[in-house]
Structures are given as C-alpha cells and as structure tokens.
Amino acid sequence: MSPMTSTVPELLELLTLERLEENIFRGQSRDIGTKFVFGGQVLGQSLSAAQATISDDRAAHSIHAYFLKAGDIEHPIVYTVDRARDGGSFSVRRVTAIQHGQPIFFMAASFQKHEDGAEHQMSMPEVPKPDELEAAPPVAPDVLANLPVKVQRWLSRQGPFEFRHVYPRDELNPPKRPPFQQVWFKLSERVGDNPELHRALLAYASDFHLLGTATFPHGISYYQPNVVMASLDHVLYFHRPFRADEWLLYSIDSPTAQNSRGFARGLIFDIEGRLVASTSQEGLIRVVDEKKE
C-alpha cells in the first residue's frame, strides 16, 4: 500500500489525543462506514487517555468497558480520567467518554508492574498461516452500487488493518454455520516500538469480527438493512507482549445468544503461538420488521 493511500497514519492520529487538562483529553472521530462511532475507536482512545496518566512502567493488563450511547461521528469526544488507585504494584483508572455533555461510554483499566510468576496458556488452534490464505476479494462494483451508502463506504474503504479469514463467509449472503471463526490480522504498515501504542491499536482492532460471530447460526449479518447490532460491553485482557503490526490470530466463538443479545469471546495469538490477549463482548442483535422502519 502506498503512503498516499494508507490509512495507518490516520489511525495513529486518531489514537493521539489532545491533552486539555491533566486528566482531560479530546479525541477526534472518523467515519469508516458505520452508522455511529466505531466502538474500537472509543476503546482505543479511552485506553490512550488512561495510559497517558501512568507515570512509570506499569502496563495495562485488563480493560472493562460499557457502551452507553451511540457516538456522533461528526463531533469529537472528550475523555475524563479518574486516577482511582496507585498502589505498590497496581494502578486503576476510570475513563468516561463524553459527547454533547453526556457520557456515551465508560471504562475501567488496570495496570501492573512486571512480575515473574507461574505461567501457562491454551494452545493456538491448528490453522493455516496467513501467507497460505488470500485476502478477501473486493465486492463487485455492480453489487456495491446497490448497497446503502454507509455499507458501500465500509466495504470499499482500505482500512489500516489487513484481515485474512481461515473460513471466509459471504457477509452479503450469509449462510447458517456454527458460531466460531479464526481471523489473522495485522496493521498494514510497520509502526514504532511503543508498547502503549500497540495496546491501543489492539484495543481498536479487537472490536472487529467479535460480535458478528454470534450471528453465524442465524444466517444474518450487520450488512443487512433489517439487522440492528451494537456493542453493549467489551472486556480485553493483555497477557504477553506483542506487536499489532505483526500477524495475530483472532480465534473467536459465541457460546450463546438470547433476548436480542449475543455473547462472543476471543483468544488472540501471535504467529509463534503465544497467547497475547483475550476478549469477550456482549452486544445487541435485533432483526427488525422493515415495514415498521
């Protein structure tokens, strides 16, 4: 990808917040083809705000977040950070995202100094390596032209991350299939070595594909006009060092869906098979009567 068309610098700028006061930050919003602000943007920016208030080498090991209201793409978001605790080994930050004077999201993040101790992990699934898989082909122009404008923007935009699906699915004509998938992904360009940046990038990327896995048994997808989906919460644990600009495997399953809510969880491995992060998310999944819309 040439520097002229790359969206990586745009993402890096998005995750670089303006510091208004000691514990208050402002981040811009981007329209990437979603109806409202992409959840991964708010996750990544909130983590960036929390990390900016940690003065030593403590690293984020977990974030727990709730999406309260849909974000407005046309306006910036203000992040306020509450320095809830700074102990001997752990620090906790509470972050509230505010738009139009109202909270739209809040998150608690915990940070820890490095410590040696007992270690084990689940094994990475045996799947083809990313260089054995092909990138998804672009949507045919005649098909794209008949889709809603927002969906066209989402499907035609060259995003900052490259994805390669082990079991590709036609999202425009989705079949019914078991609720699991494996997706290799990485930032499409090399960036610096700052581990805080790579954690914010992973927080951003972790919102892709997760909730969608809960739609697999039902033969529906986010792209269908009568399907309404929205993240309700998001949990992310960081286990081991990683780089977001090197291939990572997102292994996702959805154990249950009920009461118009789907639940999904994911394990993220690096190319060497080390478990570097874990996620879970519950989200709204509604199939609405188009005649009433």
Which residues participate in catalysis according to the annotation? 207, 231, 281
Q: Are 266 and 279 in contact (CB under 8 A)?
A: yes
Q: How far apart are CA 102 and CA 70, in angstroms?
A: 11
Question: Encoding tokens for residue 177?
Answer: 């299939």
Q: Are 34 and 149 in contact (CB under 8 A)?
A: no
Cα dist. 68→61, 103, 151, 189, 287 in Å?
Answer: 23, 7, 24, 33, 21
**Beta-carbon neighbour count of residue 80 at 10 Å?**
17
**Distance between CA atoms of residues 223 and 92, nearest Å:** 37
Calpha distance 87→110 (Å, rounded): 11
In DSSP terms, 184 is beta-bridged to 164, 249
CA distance 170 to 285: 19
Provide the residue type at 32 as one letter.
Answer: I
Q: How many C-beta atoms lie closer than 10 Å to residue 155's C-beta?
A: 17
SS3 6: coil
- C-alpha distances in angstroms, 13 versus 52, 73, 191, 237? 15, 16, 12, 24
